[in-house]
Chains A and B, each alone.
Chain A
């Protein structure tokens, strides 16, 4: 049974009159890699800053190991942060940056030296001790920032979009390195990002946030395959989202055709959102498809082709390793497993109101 390390209980945060967090509750287990994922301004960084102690929630509580740490200042919390822009100390060299926390704790210099060396080895920057931090590349500064936090042996490491400033290749490498580090050291990671791929690659658990609320919490596979609403489906990977009707259990109607599906319990003739991933639509001969359409546009994406197909009054985004030429008439086939049915958002849309 996993042990709960951090508990956010009904946390609300307002800046002046703007509410950035609406009554969120979230727990983080020991040794878990949890990612707060969402678009900018969704409240993910604020959540992280509350855990670090830089923001005080307007309402709610924050428990660490079952005890409230709301009134504990940041320098007494057993968490360390890796900042988005690293926030290294420019007047100190690499070794002194990493040793900063240890010197505050008045550790003996020979112990400090040993620990700093160990950390530099961990982040693959051996021999960089005396270098000024301004002479390092973004990726190297990033590693120093991670080393500076980890050397204090925190129970939780908080990372605020730490890879945001790096180029794609370096980012991918660092994702794997970070994940390996986390598993090796057995430290709880709370990771903030707006990059869904990053979240899917690294996390044990993803909490998708939007407009100050947590939309869904779950394992990456669950969130990808069973998004709870259209926003999450759209945010986590690319999707085709269309309005449809559940005729009855296991039978959906959308785009002017009926489809067998694996969802039930929405009631008869109820309006729903249908989500289909681009890689889940198969292109067939025109006669064999459930829908008939014309290819509008084909783009080579490296691993696959992305094709936009006009069919039944809707433009479908389709990923396939086989290319269809623009102008070609094709059929589309969607298997029952590939259709994800979601309840419409509770909030009525403006269009619906106008119709009434």
Chain B
């Protein structure tokens, strides 16, 4: 009996969590345009989706944005994590607090403040406007703290003598870093990069405020399409995005669990 209740409870939670996505997925294969009835199975919306040039452009933007922002944030975040790890206790705590703030900060605040900052900067230099560069900068900005949070624990775990051992064996500081420290923290760097990548794909609010005319990513396109009445193409698109994010999260989790095994 108790086991049954436990399982029922779990099933209910999963139902609540995934019912909306499930419905969306099912309707992406629905022939009928209306959401009320089931008109039969089709891949038609997917085909139409890939023919829609506006959506394909947004998809391209989203991927370029995700890759660029993830790679740049990974470089900056990893370098910062190494610096933070070498700090003394008090400054380290202060910096970590500053690092965690954007993570906890509501996206809307981050988005609006970045937009104001960009516009302020453009006014200062007298030219330029919101566009791909600003949205990229915004994505790099909100990704860096996550990379730091991913890399730092691994650095803390490292045997402090390992770097010294490399120097002792004749390696210059740079060689010691690339031959000893970097290989050790690579799993954490990769999982940080994947996390940054998914966060960038996911983001709507910050992108919405920091992008300019003509530059849209998928979430912005979906939002503007949804306002004109929901097109089943969006269901198809959302299903695909969900699938991609699922796969990436699975990869990150698997890497984490492998880390635990060691």
A interface, CB within 8 angstroms of B: 52-54, 73-75, 79-81, 83-85, 87-91, 100-101, 104-105, 134, 148-149, 152
How many Å lie between the Cα of A11 and that of B129 in the bound state?
Answer: 62
* A80 contacts B169, C-beta separation under 8 Å: yes
A52 to B170, CA, bound (A): 12
| CB of B244 within 8 Å of the partner chain | no
**Known A-B contacts A91-B184, A134-B262; A152 and B161 likewise in contact (beta carbons under 8 Å):** no
Return chain A residues, CB-CB under 8 Å to B183.
89, 91
Q: Distance in Å from the Cβ of B188 to the closest Cβ of chain A?
A: 13
Question: Which residues in window 8-66 of B have CB below 8 A to A?
Answer: none
| Contact present for A52 and B159 (CB under 8 Å) | no
Q: Report the separation of the CA atoms of residues A25 and B228 in the bound assembly, to the nearest whole angstrom.
A: 84
Given A87-B159, A91-B184, A104-B175, is A54 in contact with B164 using a C-beta cutoff of 8 Å? yes
| Contact present for A83 and B165 (CB under 8 Å) | yes
B165 touches A75 (CB 8 A): no
From 158 to 188 in chain B, residues with beta carbon under 8 angstroms from any chain A beta carbon are: 159, 161-162, 164-172, 175-176, 179-180, 183-184
- Kindly state the separation between the CA atoms of A312 and B169 in the bound complex, as whole angstroms: 59
Instruction: Report chain A residues within 8 Å CB of B161.
Output: 83-85, 87
Task: Tell whether, in the assembled complex, residue A75 and residue B164 are in contact, meaning their CB atoms are under 8 Å apart.
Answer: no
> Closest 10 CB pairs between A and B?
A101-B169, A87-B161, A87-B165, A74-B167, A91-B183, A104-B170, A83-B161, A81-B168, A75-B167, A87-B162
A83 touches B164 (CB 8 A): yes
Q: Which of A73, A79, A81, A105 contacts B165 (CB 8 A)?
A: A81
For residue A105, which residue of chain B has the nearest CB?
Answer: B170
Q: Could you tell me the distance in whole angstroms from the C-beta of A116 to the nearest C-beta in chain B?
A: 13
- Give the residue of A53, A79, A100 whose beta carbon is less than 8 angstroms from that of B166: A100
Nearest A residue to B162 via CB reads A87
Which B residues are CB-close (under 8 A) to A85?
A: 159, 161
Cα distance A152–B167 in the bound complex, in angstroms: 13
B123-144 vs A: 1/0 string, CB under 8 Å?
0000000000000000000000
Please give 7 more A-B residue pairs, beta carbons under 8 A apart, in addition to A75-B176, A81-B164, A101-B169.
A74-B168, A81-B165, A83-B165, A89-B162, A89-B166, A104-B171, A152-B169
Residue of B nearest to A148 (CB): B169
Contacts of A149 in B (CB 8 A): 168-169
Name the contact of A75 in the complex, choosing from B162, B168, B179, B184 (C-beta under 8 A): B168
> Which of B169, B180, B184 has the most A CB atoms < 10 Å from its CB?
B169
Which residues of B have CB within 8 Å of A84?
A: 161
- B165 x A104 contact (CB < 8 A): no
User: How far apart are the CA atoms of A188 and B125 in the complex, in Å?
Assistant: 66
- How far is B161's CA from A52's CA once the two chains are assembled, in angstroms? 12
Note all chain B residues with C-beta closer than 8 A to A80.
Answer: 168-169
Task: Give the Cβ gap from A113 to chain B, nearest Cβ, in Å.
Answer: 17
Q: How far, in angstroms, from A87 to B166 measured CA to CA in the complex?
A: 9
Q: CB-CB < 8 A to A52: which residues of B?
A: 164, 168
Q: Is there contact, CB below 8 Å, between B262 and A104?
A: no
Smallest CB–CB gap between A104 and chain B, Å?
A: 4
The residue on B at minimum CB distance from A89 is B180
Cα–Cα distance between A100 and B165 once the two chains are bound (Å): 10
Q: Which of A52, A73, A75, A81 has the most CB of B within 10 A?
A: A75
- A-B CB contact pairs (8 Å), 30 listed: A52-B168, A53-B167, A54-B167, A74-B167, A74-B168, A75-B167, A75-B169, A75-B170, A75-B176, A81-B165, A83-B164, A83-B165, A85-B159, A85-B161, A87-B159, A87-B164, A87-B165, A89-B166, A89-B184, A91-B183, A91-B184, A100-B169, A100-B171, A100-B179, A101-B169, A101-B170, A104-B171, A105-B170, A148-B169, A152-B170
